[in-house]
Amino acid sequence: MEHVSDGHDVATLAGGCFWCLEAVYQRIEGVLSVTSGYAGGTTPNPTYEEVCTGETAHAEAIQVAFDPALISYEEILDIFWQAHDPTTLNRQGPDAGTQYRSVIFWKGDSQRDVAEASRKKAQGKLKEPIVTQLLPLEQFWPAEDYHQNYYNSHQSAGYCRMVISPKLKKLKLE
């Protein structure tokens, strides 16, 4: 599933377009790598075009490899709640469809317990109900190469300027 050396952990998150979350986590101290991909669906090794149909049940997701000595899983999730709107079902900004749903894919009882506590804490700060799903991670499929490191490679593209850059500024990451 993931290729992380000893001493590192992995978080798998979905919160709208994977380019947005990827750009956020690439700027966080303690994050070692971010991979855009797909999770939560039924189609093995899906393509972007297949996921966009909404028929694979996959969400656009990221896998964040991080050093738990520098940043905790709880802190990774604290950023997640700020980096997207967890109260909007199947939509983030201009992106709509089940592939843009909000999900924390947990791995093991410890991550599940932290995710449940984190969602409860985040809900206490919001007026609208959180719709973020908490699901066991069954499989993560990396997206095509052209989706990786997207914002850093395409900062002048319209979506990057209009959607990702303002998000990074709001989070004080740019």
> Residue 159, Cβ neighbours under 10 Å: how many?
17
20 is catalytic: no
Contacts of 158 (CB under 8 A, 6+ apart): none
Task: Give residue 16's region: left, alpha or beta (phi > 0; psi -120 to 50).
Answer: left
Residue 63, burial from CB neighbour count under 10 angstroms (0-12, 13-18, 19+): buried
What's the token pair of residue 16? 């709208």
What's the token pair of residue 87? 């109260």
Terminal alpha carbon distance of the chain: 31
CA–CA distance from 142 to each of 2, 72, 117 (Å)? 10, 23, 28
Q: Which of 17, 20, 52, 160 is catalytic?
A: 17
The catalytic residue positions are 17
